[in-house]
Structure formats: C-alpha cells, structure tokens
C-alpha cells in the first residue's frame, strides 16, 4: 500500500473556503508518514468468550460443591436461601465481568470493538442488577422465615449485625442509583459528562457490595480455595482498572506530550482541532479509531470526550472534529495553540486492518462522518474506487463535506450526499424524499456491486441498526459489515 502524498499546509480557512481543513506541519520538520496500526489478534474473540463461560461455570460449580443443589431440594426457607446465594454468585460474576469489559483492555477492544463491549456492558449491568435484587429478596425472606419475623425487621437486623452488610447495603444503593440513571429516559436528561461522572459511582458500589460474601457466605467460609478464587478475581479486576484506565493513559500522554496546534472553523457550529506531539511515529492508532480526549483548558477539563479521528493520522499530527453546540463545545472552540492534551485509547474497529475486500462502501450520518473520512483518506490510494453515502439533515451544516469532495475530485471517491429530514414512514435511514424505496433496493442502487465491498457503517444507534438490517437483507456477508454506532 502506498501512502498518499503529503498535503501542503494552507493558511487559515477563509469564509466560504471549501478546501480541506489544514493539517499542521510535523513538529520535527521531518517527512510526514502515516502511523502504523496496532497489532490485531482476532483469536481473542473466541478465547474471551470461552473464558466468560468457564468463569460462570466455575461459580456455579462452587455453589454445587458447597451443597447448594441439595439444599435447593429441601424446600422452604432452606431452598430460598440456597437459590438466593446462587443468584448472588451470578450477580457478582456478571458485575466483575461488566467492570472488566469496560476496563479498556486493548486485547478485548480489538477483538470485539467498543460498541459491542458497550452493549454487553449494558446487558450485564441490568442482568446483574436484577440478580442482585433477587438475591437480596430471597435471602431476607429466607432469614425472616427462619427467625419468625417480618422481612423489613430482618433486613434491618442483618444490616446492623452481619459482617460487611452495612457496606453491602450502601453499595447496593449506589448501584441502584446508577441503574436508574442508565435508563434511556433518564439519560436523555443528563449531559454525557454528568452521566459519565455519576456512572463512575458504580465502581464504588461494586467495591462495597461484593466483599460481604467473603465474610458471611457459608460456601466461602467452608472452602478457602473458593475465597481465594474470588479474591484473585477482585485483584485482577482492580489491576486491570488501574493499569488500563489510569496508568496507561498517563504514560501515553507523557510519552507523546500532545498539544493543540490549531482550531479551525469548519461550519458555524463545527470546529476541527489539530493536535501535534513528539514521537508520533510510535503512536499506534489507525484512521477511523477514536480516543478519549481531555483538553487541559478552563473549568471542567477533566471531563473526557470520546472523539473519533477525522483525518488520517500521520507524524504531522491528529485531527478531531467537534460540534460547538454540544457539551463543552464553546470551551473547546476557544482553545489556543499549545493547550496540553491528555488521551486515552485508541479504541474502535472502524479501521483499515479489518478490511476483507479491495473496495469500501461507507455509510455515515451525523458525527459518524468523522471516522469515515479518516478511513477513506487512509485508503484513497489503494486499488479500486470507494463509495461514501453521507446522510445529513441540513446540507449547509454537513461536517467535513469539503474533505469528502476533495477525495471525490482527486482520489476517485464516489461521494453520494443524502441531505434532508429523515424518513418517518418508509426506510428510516434514508431522507424523507427517498423513504418510499425499500432499504435493500436503495442499497443496490447506491452501490450496485455492494456485495464485493467492505461496508463500514457509522452513525446514531437507531440509524445504524436499521441500515445494517437492510445490508443483511441485501445479501452482504456478515464478515464484510463493520459497525461503529454511537449512543450513550
């Protein structure tokens, strides 16, 4: 694969200028090169799935070895208590897997992709919560029945007398609060950064809720190796969090010393931020991936922003594109050159390394245009012509349209803009004027030989889901569909 020629650096963008957004020069004045992608080990996908199944099997085996199955057959309060312990074990197992899944472990990120991990994280979170609630109800009812008193009085007594129970109740309250705020209706009322900060309390809740089983659980007290297994798992989870969520981002930022080079106005509501740094040739990031960015300027700089690269990463620097109407948008748009930058990542599977065919058909909507433009720039000089289908509500506000038009003029990209309000009665991923066309038929008209392309889809979750369903109906093999939806 040959790299595209180095683009000259123009001056500031003038009003009405449609040239691609400028890229800052290499800080060291050296030759601009594309960055090397990270190594991808696809076998991790199967390995992790087997490990998850094995973990749940081991947890169930511990319950059986402690006599749980036999107690379940005895009926009455004994059976309720045994079922409650099993529900608690499964809840604990899923809670720990939930934390590990979002610990930003590079191997897991590359195997599954951030969107799939987020989906599993959400599923595991709600499932573990209901198992935790079932555990609490069954245990309290079983103890109350054995003691001959009401459930409320028994819960109060257990909280005050059993080791670790007061911490467990506090942890359960925190987890409940996070679950309530994670319901879509509640999340829509919160800024992303506010929800993300509150979501971190789930870690504290899990840390408080789980250890009581090691102090009061009969199976743990009777079998030291069971306690050793759980303590080891807790330790592994803590090490993973500290390593990949704290130490690794700090080391990455310290090594590359990233700084804002320029902030360029793309449209009245969108800016592109150019970032340079040192030793960028050692920054393993691919076009189309995203990082969590913290721009150290003004109040609230500690809040992380998950932003995709909107240009091919090279030793000259990185670019991200931001809407100024969003959270912290005005603060980021006012940044000056030299602003320090902290990053966490890279993440995402919208990348060249997942390709299986010579040509690309990219479908982007909203902020999804950013990673798609970067991906197409990275592959612009490979054999075959690529296609970009770009959905936007208002054509005047279409971000990075100049970059797509430049690729269409100089790199044989087929650029198909689809502006206008979305269809509410027909195919939901098309604009209203074309909504009457069935999705699979529309795909075949847009890209006649679609089945011979790698298809990248990036946009809002509902839009992406509808589009992927029509891609499958149109006969595109699953291995050629690469999805990166965004939602919170």
When divided into structural domains, the chain yields a total of 3
CA distances from 89 to 59, 62, 67, 161 (A): 7, 9, 14, 22
CATH number of the domain residue 133 falls in: 1.20.120
CA distances from 185 to 48, 195, 488 (A): 32, 12, 11
Q: To the nearest 10°, the Cα dihedral for 287, 290, 292, 298?
A: 70
pLDDT at residue 185, as a whole number: 60
- Calpha distance 27→32 (Å, rounded): 10
Q: State how far Cα 146 lies from the chain centre.
A: 46
Q: Is residue 1 part of a domain?
A: no
Write down which residue in 347, 362, 384 finishes a domain: 347
Q: Is residue 70 part of a domain?
A: yes
pLDDT at residue 260, as a whole number: 93
- Calpha distance 342→344 (Å, rounded): 7
Residue 271 and residue 148 share a domain: no
Q: Is residue 30 part of a domain?
A: no
Count of beta carbons in the 10 Å neighbourhood of residue 481: 15
Residue 265 and residue 223 share a domain: no
Residue 393 and residue 276 share a domain: no
pLDDT at residue 441, as a whole number: 92
Residue 269 and residue 232 share a domain: no
pLDDT at residue 5, as a whole number: 34
Q: Is residue 9 part of a domain?
A: no
Contact (Cβ atoms closer than 8 angstroms) between residue 363 and residue 467 = yes
3-class secondary structure, 244: helix
Write down which residue in 221, 250, 279 finishes a domain: 250
Residue 363 and residue 343 share a domain: no
Residue 304 and residue 229 share a domain: no
Residue 167 and residue 197 share a domain: yes
- DSSP H helical segments within 2-43, as ranges? none
3-class secondary structure, 199: helix
Note if the pTM is more than 0.75: no
DSSP state of 93: H
Question: Is the alpha carbon torsion for 297, 300, 306, 310 positive or negative?
Answer: negative
Q: To the nearest 10°, the Cα dihedral for 305, 308, 311, 315?
A: 70
CATH number of the domain residue 405 falls in: 3.40.50.80
pLDDT at residue 142, as a whole number: 85
Contacts of 377 (CB under 8 A, 6+ apart): 4, 287, 311, 312, 403, 407
CA distances from 70 to 65, 271, 402 (A): 10, 65, 69
Residue 61 and residue 168 share a domain: yes
Q: Is residue 4 part of a domain?
A: no
- DSSP H helical segments within 23-113, as ranges? 44-65, 68-72, 76-101, 106-112
Of 395, 393, 347, the closest CA to residue 371 belongs to 347
Contacts of 281 (CB under 8 A, 6+ apart): 33, 35, 36, 315
Residue 181 and residue 326 share a domain: no
Residue 139 and residue 73 share a domain: yes
Residue 198 and residue 60 share a domain: yes
Query: Which tokens is 341 given?
Result: 């930058």
Q: Is residue 306 part of a domain?
A: yes
Q: Is residue 106 part of a domain?
A: yes
CATH number of the domain residue 309 falls in: 2.40.30.10
Domain that holds residue 88: 44-250
Note the pLDDT tens digit of each residue in 191-232.
Answer: 665 666 666 667 777 777 766 766 666 555 567 778 788 888
DSSP state of 34: B
Residue 54 and residue 102 share a domain: yes
Judge if the upstream peptide bond of residue 346 is cis by omega within 30 degrees of 0. Answer: yes
Write down which residue in 211, 226, 250 finishes a domain: 250
Q: pLDDT 10s digit of each residue in the chain, 488 long?
A: 333 333 333 333 333 344 444 444 333 334 455 555 555 545 455 566 677 778 888 888 888 887 778 887 787 888 888 888 888 888 888 888 878 777 777 767 766 666 677 777 777 778 888 888 888 888 888 888 877 788 888 778 877 777 767 777 777 777 777 777 666 665 666 666 566 666 666 777 777 776 676 666 655 556 777 878 888 888 888 888 888 888 888 898 889 999 999 998 887 778 889 999 988 888 888 888 888 889 988 777 877 888 889 888 888 899 998 877 766 777 888 888 999 999 988 887 778 888 888 889 999 988 788 899 999 998 887 766 889 999 888 765 667 888 888 888 888 889 998 888 888 888 989 998 888 899 999 999 999 889 999 999 988 888 898 999 999 999 999 888 988 876 54
Q: Is residue 194 part of a domain?
A: yes
Q: Pairing mode, if any, of strands 290-295 and 341-347?
A: antiparallel
């Amino acid at each position: 694969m040959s790299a595209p020629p180095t683009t000259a650096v123009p001056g500031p963008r003038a009003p009405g200028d449609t040239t691609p957004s400028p890229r800052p020069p290499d800080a060291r004045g050296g030759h601009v090169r594309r960055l090397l992608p990270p190594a991808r080990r696809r076998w991790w996908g199967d390995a992790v799935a087997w490990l998850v199944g094995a973990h749940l099997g081991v947890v169930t085996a511990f319950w059986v070895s402690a006599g749980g199955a036999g107690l379940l057959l005895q009926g009455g309060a004994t059976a309720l208590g045994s079922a409650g312990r099993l529900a608690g074990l499964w809840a604990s197992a899923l809670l720990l897997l939930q934390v590990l899944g979002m610990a930003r472990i590079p191997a897991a990120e590359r195997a599954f992709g951030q969107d799939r991990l987020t989906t599993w994280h959400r599923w595991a979170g709600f499932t573990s919560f209901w198992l935790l609630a079932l555990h609490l109800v069954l245990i309290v009812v079983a103890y109350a029945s054995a003691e001959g008193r009401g459930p409320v009085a028994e819960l109060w007594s257990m909280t005050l007398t059993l080791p670790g129970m007061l911490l467990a109740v506090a942890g359960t309250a925190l987890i409940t609060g996070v679950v309530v705020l994670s319901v879509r209706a509640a999340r829509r009322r919160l800024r992303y950064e506010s929800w993300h900060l509150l979501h971190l309390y789930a870690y504290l809740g899990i840390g408080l809720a789980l250890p009581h089983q090691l102090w009061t659980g009969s199976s743990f007290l009777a079998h030291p190796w069971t306690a050793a297994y759980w303590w080891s798992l807790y330790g592994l989870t803590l090490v993973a969090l500290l390593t990949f969520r704290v130490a690794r981002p700090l080391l990455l930022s310290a090594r590359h010393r990233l700084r804002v080079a320029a902030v360029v106005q793309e449209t009245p509501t969108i800016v592109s931020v150019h970032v340079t740094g040192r030793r960028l040739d050692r920054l393993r990031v691919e076009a189309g991936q995203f990082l969590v960015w913290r721009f150290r300027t003004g109040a609230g700089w500690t809040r992380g922003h998950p932003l995709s690269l909107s240009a091919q990463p090279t030793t000259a620097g990185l670019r991200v594109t931001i809407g100024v109407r969003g959270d912290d948008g005005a603060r980021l748009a006012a940044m000056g050159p030299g602003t320090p930058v902290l990053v966490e990542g890279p993440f995402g599977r919208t990348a060249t390394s997942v390709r299986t065919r010579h040509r690309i058909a990219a479908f982007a909507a909203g902020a999804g245009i950013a990673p798609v433009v970067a991906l197409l720039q990275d592959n612009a000089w490979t054999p075959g012509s690529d296609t970009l289908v770009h959905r936007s509500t208002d054509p005047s506000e279409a971000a990075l349209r100049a970059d797509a038009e430049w690729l269409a003029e100089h790199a044989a990209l087929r650029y198909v803009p689809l502006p206008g309000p979305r269809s509410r009665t027909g195919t939901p991923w098309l604009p209203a004027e074309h909504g009457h066309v069935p999705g699979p038929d529309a795909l075949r008209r847009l890209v006649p030989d679609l089945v011979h392309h790698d298809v990248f889809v990036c946009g809002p979750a509902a839009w992406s889901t509808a589009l992927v369903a029509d891609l499958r109906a149109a006969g595109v093999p699953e291995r050629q569909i690469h999805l990166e939806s965004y939602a919170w």
